[in-house]
Each structure stands twice: as structure tokens, then as C-alpha cells.
Structure 1
Amino acid sequence: MDNVTPLGGDVYEIDTRMAGYSGVTAGYLILGDRPCLVETGTSTSAPVVRDALTSLGVGPEDLATVVVTHIHLDHAGGVGDIAGYYPSAEIVVHEKGARHLADPSRLMASARMVWGDKLDSLFGSLAPTDAARIRALGDTGSVDLGGGRELASHYSPGHAKHHVGLLDSATGDLYVGDAAGVYLPETGDLRPATPPPDFDLQTALDSVALFGALGPQRLLFSHYGPVADVATTLERSADELRVWVDLTRQAHSEGMDLDHAVAMVREKTRERYSAMASENEETAERFELLSGAPSNVSGIMHWLDRTKARNP
């Protein structure tokens, strides 16, 4: 299939075709003794992911595990549908996200407030998963891939309080979710993902530092794809966080409202990203969809307000 890319080590990247786009959200199949899907993509992507797994020889009873790095709908919106397609699969998520997979009503209501009418076309609706099939991870944990191979889970809550990174013991691949930002392979751009309500700068930097300390051989971004230059990429990830926070802090201290702060940060960061050049209009559109300036600035503003409230 044209949306499946072998990455070596029995790992396959699956373009979930989120909202009909290519290169927006990736799921990954680890095709070992106990096949494991990392990230489901959205609910509307679930049939695309199922067809990809079928093309790789994974039938309804073959998938052992589904793991999500966190429960945002572009990563985990398809969990309920995928659980239905693969009735033997265990669903693995951090303990702070588990109840939302069993009962998605609050998550969907908050997503509707953020996205409005765009919610249905971008993400669809997260279907509930039987709580008995969900395994909740603590701050560390592991997923058995068979044959002595495992995914080690490491709590990394800078992006969201229910976020984990996943390290493959056989390949050294680290599935970074959104905690290292959003990467565009076409341009090599890397931009932070700092949405409300959970963003915290020090926690985010600590998560990036943890990823480096794990010594991965390769980073597998959910947005989007594999990156082999681990140290440079994680350093860039931390730099981008600091740049966006510094600019938003400046706007915040000048009393700007969100719209004006977003406009200022957009202008001052534009030259950092090749994707934002006028000739890359389609790529820029994807960047804004995944790591939109309004979402990023809003998340940082929310954090600054919390920090100010704690330290008046």
C-alpha cells in the first residue's frame, strides 16, 4: 500500500491520512511475535489503519497490543474503532488518560469547545473502549512485544499530563508522540506543540531531556516520521520551546490579548521555518493544523497565567 513504509527492524510507518491529508499523522506497526500498533490516528482514520494492517498480514485476532502516547484525538481518536476491529488487542495508555478512553464524553465535549464544527471532519468521534481491555501505565511500564523484545514506557508530561514516550528495546526507536514537537520531513522544520491546558515549560524541557538520556537511536514522530539525528533534533526541540515561551511572555507582559499575541509570535517566528515561506503554502497549512500558533500561544498564555496566580 502506498501509505505503508518499512523502516527496518520489523517497524512499519502507516500514514493515517488524517482528514484526507498525507504526511500529517503516523501510526506505527511493530510486527514482532506480538504485533503492536503505536498510535491509532483519528476515528475517521481507523479504516485506513485497518487496511494497512491487513496488507501487512495482521488479521482481526493477530494484533496483541495498541499503545497510544497520549489521548489527544489525532493520536488516540481511533482507539475505540481499532479495539472493535481487533478484539484480542490490549489497549495501553498512561493512567491519567485511561478513564477517557473508557468514557470519552468529557474529552469529546472539551474537543468540541476547541474545534467546533471542524471536529467531525478533522477527528470524528472517539468511541468508548471496554474498561476491562485497558491497561493503565504508571510513570514507567512496559509492553511485551514477544521474543524478549519490549516497549519501555516513560512518563513525559510536558505536552499533556497523560503523555508517555516509548522506547523499543530491539531497535532503540523512541516514539516521541508530541513531547518533542512537530517535525516536517519535507523542510526539516521542528516546531513545539504547547496546547492548553497542561503545558508547563520546565516539565516540557524535562521531558525532552529525558528523551536524550534514554539514548535512543532514532526518534519516531507521530507528526511526522523517523529522524536519525537524535541529539541535534532534541536540542532544537528545547530551543523552539524557549523561543515560543520568550515571545509569548513578552506579549503577555505587554498586556496583549490572545489574537494580538498570536499575530506577534507568528511574525517573529516566521523566518525560523521554511514551511512558512510563501512557496510552501500546502506545507504551511499542515504545520498550522498540527501546531497552530493560536493553540501554542494559548497554551503558553494559560501556563503564564497559572504561574502568575501561584506567584503574584
Structure 2
Amino acid sequence: MTKPVDLGHRISLIDLYDLRMPQRTGTYVLHEENLAIIETGPSPSVSHLLAGLKALHIDPAEIRYIIVTHIHLDHAGGVGLLLQHCPNATVVVHPKGKRHLADPSRLIAGAKAVYGAQFEALFDPIVPVPEERLIVKEDGETLELSAERTLVFYDTPGHANHHFSIYDSYSHSVFTGDTIGVFYPQLREAGLKFCLPSTSPNQFNPAEMEQSAERLEKLNPSRIYFGHFGMLDDPQEAFRQLRLWLPKFVAAGKEAIDRHPEAPAAEQAKIAAQMLRNDITAFLNEHGVPSSSPAYAAIELDLQVCAMGLIDYWHKQR
């Protein structure tokens, strides 16, 4: 296990080893009078989360708030399981996500449709959250963790309709979940700050993603805390790369369908993924990133799911 990382501003990052990969998905710990964590990861990651809390000398009973940016299982799948260790915690969720944490049957069915036979290894068990331990935060509402730190919740659809991003008054930064994409810290060694959009099924909407990004950019944050993975202290670069790559992703989905209109959606997704793979590989080659970089494995996983979301989006448009 990697020790939790001190990010400054009384924030720690615990690596959840999602999909058994380092620097894939993380939990943020906000060390305040009302102790809060943001994101739980999937259930198989809860053991890593608990180990990280132990390394920080935190008893799970001290946690007051478990906040999930959205209810996709790689961010919130472990919340019910974790809650069994946190007797004093309340779960904070987007209004459109509450009922699905209380009754995760539709979440489970959706994930099985995407991940098939891999579902159990990736996500089991999905434990319901008792309704009395759930609170929602509407757009613009706040949560005070201490006299110095207040969180402000912003409705930010685009990746998912049940997604909020969280502005932190103390660090003047934003926890963005998947709203403005995925950050690949593995590429820091190559001198790159590299981000890609997250366009997974089935609520991806590029126009809403752009609008949400613009809204967060206007907050002028000092840094971005990504669900995948870690902190970027150059927010403008993250917004710039979303504007660069999002049109390329959307165009690849459309072209895959235009070229092969009779092909099954799964085949169209493979074609779109290959187009994007070619573009991304060329970009990384231009910047001297060796093919041995661990970033390629992480990017490959994302491309497969992102391509499915792109094809799903374009079929709905038609």
C-alpha cells in the first residue's frame, strides 16, 4: 500500500488501488472538526481506504461526512460497505443519486450491462445505504466542516446527471469528480500535465460537459482535485485540454457510426476507441513519452468505456 499523500491545506489523498492499479482512483480526507472524506471508490477498494485512514491515525468512527461526487460505482460503489465501519457518518449525494444509493438495483443492472462477467470482481458487494443516513445537496448549497472550511456544491452534469462538483473555501479549489475528465499523474515524469474527457455511458452530454466546465472555470480555482487521480495545481491546463480533446472524442464516435452504420454498437465503440488511441498515441509520442509508460494501461481502460459512451450518445441523438 502507498502511504496517504499530504496535499497541503489539511487534505490527504488515499490511493484506493481501484482495478488493482495505483494512481487510478482516490479518496480525499479533509482534516476538520467535522471530518469528511470525498469519494469511496468501489467496494473492493474499501480495505485500502480503511488502511489509509489507519495510517492517518483516523478512527472511522470520527468521520462525520462521506461525500460522493456522483454515484458511478468506481466513485461511490463502496459507500454502503464503508458506512458499516463509520457509525457516525452521513452520506452526502446529489439529489438525483440519493434513491440509487438507497436502492442500488438499477446501478447494479447498469454496471452489469457495461462490465458483464467482470462485474463481481470489480464491484461486489453493493450495499444499500439506509435512507436516514443520506442527505442531498442542491445546487449552491453548502456544508460547513469548520469555521475555516465550507464546501459549496455545484450541479455539474455532462459526465452524469447525478454529478456535483465541490468548491472548497479553505484551499480555493474544486473537487471535480469526472466533470472535467481524468488526470494521468503517471505522465508527470515526462513533464506532461495530461487530462482526457470522461465520456462513459449512459448520460454523457458534451454540451452540458462544456457548460459545467465553464462554470467551474469561472470560480478561478487554485487547483483541481480529480476523482481519477490526484491534484493538479494548474487548473487552466485542465480546462484547456478538455476543450482540446472533447471535440475529438465526440467526432470519433460520430465517424465510427457514419463509416459503419450497420455494425453493432460494440463494434462501433471499438472503432471509435481505435481512432482515439491513434490520436493519443501520436500526441504522447510527440512529447517523448515511452511506450513503456504505465499511463498507457490507464488510458486504455478509459478509452474502452469512453468509446461506449460516445456511441451511446450518438445513437440517442439519432
Give the TM-score normalised by structure 1: 0.92
| Alignment match, 1:191 | 196
Q: Secondary structure at the match of 1:108?
A: helix
Match status 1:118 vs 2:118: yes
Find the counterpart in structure 2 of residue 261 from structure 1.
Answer: 272
CA offset digits 1:104-152 (Å, max 9, x no partner) = 1111121112111212222322211111000022223222212242111
* CA deviation profile, 1:205-233 (whole Å, cap 9, x unmatched): 11111110111110011111110111122
Post-superposition shift, 1:100? 1.0
Of the three residues 289, 293, 316, the one matched with 1:306 is: 316
Measured in 2, the distance between the counterparts of 1:276 and 1:249 equals: 30
CA RMSD of aligned residues (A): 1.9
Deviates more, 1:158-167 or 1:267-276: 267-276
Give the corresponding residue for 2:236.
231
Deviation at 1:185, TM superposition (A): 1.0
Relative to its length, the structure with more strand (as a share) is: 1
Matched, 1:285 2:267: no
Aligned length: 306
Flag the 1:82–1:285 CA change in 2: closer, same or farther, 3 A: same
Please name the residue that 1:240 is paired with. Answer: 245
Q: Residues 1-312 of structure 1: matches in 2 within 5 Å?
A: 2-187=2-187, 188-256=193-261, 257=263, 258=268, 259-273=270-284, 279-280=291-292, 282-289=294-301, 291-292=302-303, 294-308=304-318
In structure 2, how many angstroms separate the alpha carbons of the residues matched to 1:286 and 1:298? 16
> Which runs of 5 or more structure 1 residues have no equivalent in the other structure?
none
Q: Which moved more, 1:33-42 or 1:247-256?
A: 247-256
| % identical equivalent positions | 29
The normalised TM-score by structure 2 is: 0.90
List 4+ stretches of structure 1 deviating above 4 A.
Answer: 274-278
Structure 2 gap segments, 5+ residues each: 188-192
The aligned amino acid for 2:232 is V
Letter of the 1:283 partner, please give it.
A
> Distance between the aligned counterparts of 1:303 and 1:46, measured in 2?
32
Supply the distance in 2 between the matched residues of 1:85 and 1:285 (Cα, whole angstroms): 33
- Take 1:264 and 1:304, find their aligned partners in 2: how far apart are those partners? 16
CA distance in 2, matches of 1:153, 1:197: 23
- Equivalent residue letter for 2:21: Y
